[in-house]
Amino acid sequence: MKNRNQSQIYFFYVGAFFLLNILNTYMLTVQGLNRYIAPFKHTFLGEINAILGNFSILLAIVLVAFILIRKAKGRMLFLLLFTLFLNGFIFLMSIFNLYFGTAFSIESLSLLRNPSDALAHGTYQQVLLELFTYWRIVIFLPTIALLVFYLTSNLKEMKIIYFHVPLKAYLSGFLSSILIIFVAVFSYYQQFKATLPIYAVRSTFAVQNLGVYPYYFGEIFGNSFSIDMQSFLELDSDEDLAAAYQYYNKNQAAYLNFFDQNIYSNQLNLDQAVDNLYVDPSIALGSGLNGILEDRNLVVIHIESMNHFLFENQYTNERLSFINNLFEQSFVFSNFYNNVGMGVSSDAELAVLSGLYPVGDRILYWEDENTNYDLNTLVKYFNLEEYYTEAIHGDYKTFYNREYVYPNMMGFDDFYSLEDFISDGYVIEQGFEYDTENNLVHHNPWVSDYFLADTVSQKGNAYLSANTPFMLFPIMMMPHTPFDYDPNGERTDVYPQYVNEIQNLTLKYLNYTDYYDDTLKRFFIDEENQDQTLDNTVYLFYSDHGSGLKNGDLNTLFDRDLSIMESRQILQQTVSFLYVPGNSYVDYGDYQIRKGLLTGEQNLVRSEVDLYRTIIDLFNLPIGSDPYFGVNGLSKEPTFAMSNRLMDVVTDDIFYSMRNSEKTFPENGVVSQELYDYIVRSKMLSDLMISNATMQNQIDELIKEFYG
């Protein structure tokens, strides 16, 4: 009788293993349980498919284990330990969601190739906080439940319960699981092609509609669960390829804009520029704007993690006095968004320097070493104009594989990195004394952005003295999540109204507002309060991506309840502006700023890919017939911005999710089928363009052949 009761407990235990571990996958796929994920619309077919897929993988593994383990106690212990492994895996995947907002894929492992020891401590703290402050500990409920069952069972009785089942029964069960998974995979592909067949969403769609366990099990064995994009788009001939890209190509004398159905051109005139644009007579070229910055030098400054909401919040905006003054002398993109995918900072560089969207689910920088991409870039066009081009970054050369990518894919003449700073006398351990009068030192594991700004001035002046035209690309290091190494320390007196109202991570980010203002000021004014602006030089600033805050603190900062979609839009809106300093000065009290020769504000949507076309036009770079797909930042032409990780889209009218177009801001917004299809196809063509090393060159030649 005891054996019978214990057998019932055993079978209940096995059933609980399947039920709990299948239900636990919803901790990754349902937004109500995982606020960090951007899911697709849940469908009945997708849910059934995922349940079957998850069950089939668990069944196959359990059958193999049960062939080897015949006693009930041993099997129960295996199921307990395996559940602990599965729960730990799902927890790690949820942490990945925290930082990237999408599901993990094997391609994402290239992130681990970046040296990140300096960021690890703060990241580990955040992971531990997630266990308890956001109750991610519930992910381990299956383990806890099975452990309780295991410990309360009569283990002595379980030890003697022995199962002898014919091998053909196991074989039958195993073949059944294989059949189920084949059906589930087939169903997944049909759903994927009918929904959103884009690489960037593949992992999220698969864990939701194929199942967490079969997707990752398949990835381990080399199945990418992707489709052949060119075949899917039915681009069977060279003429088909040329026509597909020409439809989106804006490097034409006349083209039709999808959004307002007006005709625009690759030559921008004042009548099609924003109404508030001011062009100083010293650089004006009549009514045309193309080439007004020709023969000037260029400094493109990559800002780390700066969200636009810092200018919208009263208290943070008050501490950005220098940048606000600089805005008055600049052309400001006040409705600007990032285009990044999984490659975050490196993706932002790709979008700005090449005008191409990153794929979204992998890091092109790490792929290039094996692929040797032949891309058109701003750097290469400036090289054709005999500019000296140099990237400057206070991190290791190996970070994002930049030591290979910069000279090969991007075309930089030189890359000055942490190793070079050190060899020239920078001592990391001593930090950088950015204010000698007050003995203020910035200690961090990299080169301080204060010194990065000084280096740009020093290098730029050296090239000016040698009459060498230049393009410099300085990349700021901080503030980088989890927002450690603030030279001003962790303060609670700057924003007393937010202490105990927001999480410490958010407060640390807000405290970095002072650092933003001080370091951007340093590019133009040295520590002696003297001008160090470079003559005859244009400065383009852009933030690579936002802060990544997803903990609900935006409601407090905006003093109202925000919908999930409005919060996502705010977090994707970043900062960019173009500053063309002249020779006269504007007095701002304690300092002077050179008067801007090109000022105004762009209120229409713009993003990083648009900066590429803007620089090409303003500097009249030798692009020839090479296509580009962004709009000019100074024009009235409407466009869209796309997040290539979450696949969110923002236009001048609406913000919506391509994963579920019913998710919009404003909430009553409607996405037309024409708009949805137009943007989906543009993304698919973009992915195809960088699907292999020479595809862009091939498309360039085809457009030249068929369209002159």
pTM of the model as a whole: 0.93
The arithmetic mean of pLDDT across residues 685-699, rounded, is 92
Return d(Cα 309, Cα 311) in angstroms, integer. Answer: 5
Return d(Cα 495, Cα 517) in angstroms, integer. Answer: 16
| Residue 3 confidence (pLDDT) above 60 | no
Instruction: Spell out where 606-677 has E strands.
Output: 606-607, 641-642, 648-650, 655-657, 664-665
CB atoms within 10 A of CB 481: 19
Q: Are 211 and 246 in contact (CB under 8 A)?
A: no
Domains of the chain: 2-227 (no CATH), 239-707 (3.40.720.10)
For 232-278, the pLDDT digits (tens) are 999 999 999 999 999 999 999 999 999 999 999 999 999 999 999 99
Number of Cα atoms under 13 Å in the Cβ half of residue 643: 28
The arithmetic mean of pLDDT across residues 323-332, rounded, is 98
Looking at residue 6, what is its pLDDT? 65
Q: CA torsion angle for 613, 617, 620, 621 (degrees, to 10)?
A: 0
Residue 200: partners with Cβ closer than 8 Å, 6 or more residues away = 102, 341, 342, 359, 360, 361, 644, 645, 647, 687
For 280-292, the pLDDT digits (tens) are 999 999 999 999 9
For 63-80, the pLDDT digits (tens) are 988 888 888 888 889 999
Looking at residue 161, what is its pLDDT? 58
Strand partners, 542: 302, 576
| Residue 216 confidence (pLDDT) above 70 | yes
Counting residues of the chain whose pLDDT is more than 70, the rounded percentage is 94
Q: Are 50 and 208 in contact (CB under 8 A)?
A: yes
Q: Which of 46-55, 159-168, 489-498 has the lowest mean pLDDT?
A: 159-168
Return d(Cα 492, Cα 500) in angstroms, integer. Answer: 10
Return d(Cα 202, Cα 215) in angstroms, integer. Answer: 10
**Whole-number Cα distances in Å, 368 to 81, 375, 422:** 40, 11, 27
Looking at residue 8, what is its pLDDT? 77
Helix H or strand E encompassing 207: helix 202-209
For 588-643, the pLDDT digits (tens) are 999 999 999 999 999 999 999 999 999 999 999 999 999 999 999 999 999 999 99
| Residue 349 confidence (pLDDT) above 80 | yes
Q: Which residue has the higher pLDDT, 7 or 116?
A: 7
The arithmetic mean of pLDDT across residues 460-470, rounded, is 98
Helices 673-689 and 695-707, packing angle to 10 deg: 120
Helix H or strand E encompassing 301: strand 297-303
Q: Give phi and psi for 337, each to the nearest 5.
A: -135, 155
Handedness of CA 462, 465, 467, 472 (dihedral sign): positive
Strands 573-579 and 537-543: antiparallel
Q: Give phi and psi for 37, each to the nearest 5.
A: -105, 150
| Residue 118 confidence (pLDDT) above 60 | no
For 493-550, the pLDDT digits (tens) are 999 999 999 988 899 999 999 999 999 999 999 999 999 999 999 999 999 999 988 7
Decide: helix, strand or coil at residue 542: strand
**Whole-number Cα distances in Å, 511 to 312, 313, 488, 495:** 15, 13, 8, 8
Q: Are 605 and 652 in contact (CB under 8 A)?
A: yes
Return d(Cα 514, Cα 316) in angstroms, integer. Answer: 9
Looking at residue 160, what is its pLDDT? 61
For 241-251, the pLDDT digits (tens) are 999 999 999 99
Q: Are 389 and 411 in contact (CB under 8 A)?
A: yes
Number of Cα atoms under 13 Å in the Cβ half of residue 398: 7
For 399-440, the pLDDT digits (tens) are 999 999 999 999 999 999 999 999 999 999 999 999 998 999
For 162-204, the pLDDT digits (tens) are 666 677 777 888 898 999 999 999 999 999 999 999 999 999 9
Instruction: Spell out where 404-487 has E strands.
Output: 414-416, 432-435, 440-442, 470-475
Which letter, b or e, does each residue of 295-315 get, where b requires 16 or more Cβ atoms within 10 Å of its Cβ?
ebbbbbbbbbbbbbbbbebee
| Residue 578 confidence (pLDDT) above 90 | yes
For 94-107, the pLDDT digits (tens) are 888 877 888 988 88
For 127-147, the pLDDT digits (tens) are 666 666 666 788 999 999 999
Strands 664-665 and 655-657: antiparallel
Q: Are 508 and 482 in contact (CB under 8 A)?
A: yes
Looking at residue 414, what is its pLDDT? 98
Strand partners, 337: 573, 607
Structure tokens at 249: 């190509």
- What confidence category does residue 1 fall into, taking pLDDT thresholds of 50, 70 and 90? very low
| Residue 158 confidence (pLDDT) above 90 | no
Counting residues of the chain whose pLDDT is more than 90, the rounded percentage is 78
The arithmetic mean of pLDDT across residues 350-372, rounded, is 89
